[in-house]
Amino acid sequence: MQIKNLEIHVLLADDFDETLTSSAQDSLLVVVEDERGNRGYGESDVNPWIGRACIDAPGTHTMGLCLRDILMSEPVEDIRVFWERAYVATAMNGRRGAVIHALGAVEMALWDLLGKRENKPVWQLLGRERRSDPVVPYASLQPHGVGFHDYRDALCQAAERARTLGFRAMKAEITMNGPYAHDGMKEPYDRHTELISEVRRTIGDDVTLMVDVQYMFPDAVSAAAVMKDWLDFDLYFVETPVWCDDLSEHRKLSELVDIPIAMGEWLSTRHEFADLIACGGVSIPQPDIGRVGGLSEALLVADMAARHDLTIVPHCWKTGVSTAATAHFSAVTPHCKFIEFLPQELCIEKLRKELTVGGVSMQDGVIVGLDDAPGLGVDLNWDAVRAYAQP
Residue 3: pLDDT over 90: yes
Report the distance separating Cα 328 and Cα 323, nearest Å. Answer: 9
- Span 308-320, pLDDT tens digits: 999 999 999 999 9
How far apart CA 187 and CA 107 sit, in angstroms, is: 41
pLDDT at 74: 93
Percentage of the chain lying above the pLDDT 90 cut: 92
What order of strands is seen across the sheet that includes strand 3-12? 3-12, 26-34, 39-44
Q: What burial letters (b/e) apply to 349-366, b meaning 16+ CB within 10 Å? A: bbbbbbbbeebbbbeeee
Identify the band that residue 344 occupies on the pLDDT scale cut at 50, 70 and 90: confident
Burial class from Cβ neighbours inside 10 Å (0-12, 13-18, 19+) for residue 80 reads middle
**Are the beta carbons of 65 and 49 closer than 8 angstroms?**
no
List Cβ neighbours of 260 (8 Å cut-off, separation of 6 or more): 235, 236, 237, 238, 283, 284
Bridge-based pairing state of the strands 208-212 and 235-239: parallel
pLDDT at 184 over 90: no
Decide if pLDDT at 342 tops 90: no
H/E stretch holding 189: helix 189-203
For the cut 90, the answer to whether the pLDDT of residue 243 exceeds it is yes
In this predicted model, what pLDDT tens digit does every residue of 321-335 receive, in sequence order?
999 999 999 999 999
**What's the confidence (pLDDT) of residue 145?**
74
- Residue 214 one-letter amino acid: Q
Q: What is the pLDDT of residue 104?
A: 98
Residue 282 CB: number of other CB atoms within 10 A? 24
What distance in Å separates the CA atoms of residue 184 and residue 344, rounded to the nearest whole number?
26
Q: What's the pLDDT at 182?
A: 83
Q: Which residues pair with 235 in a beta bridge?
A: 209
pLDDT-based confidence at residue 5 (cuts at 50, 70, 90) = very high
pLDDT at 1 over 90: yes
pLDDT digits (tens, 9 = 90+) for 131-181: 999 999 999 998 877 889 999 999 999 999 999 999 999 999 999 999 988
- What DSSP designation does 338 have? -
Could you report the per-residue pLDDT of 57-105, keeping only the tens digit for each? 999 999 999 999 999 999 999 999 999 999 999 999 989 999 999 999 9
Q: Which range among 21-25, 361-365, 380-384 shows the weakest confidence by mean pLDDT?
A: 21-25
Give yes or no for a contact between 184 and 19, defined as CB atoms under 8 angstroms apart: yes
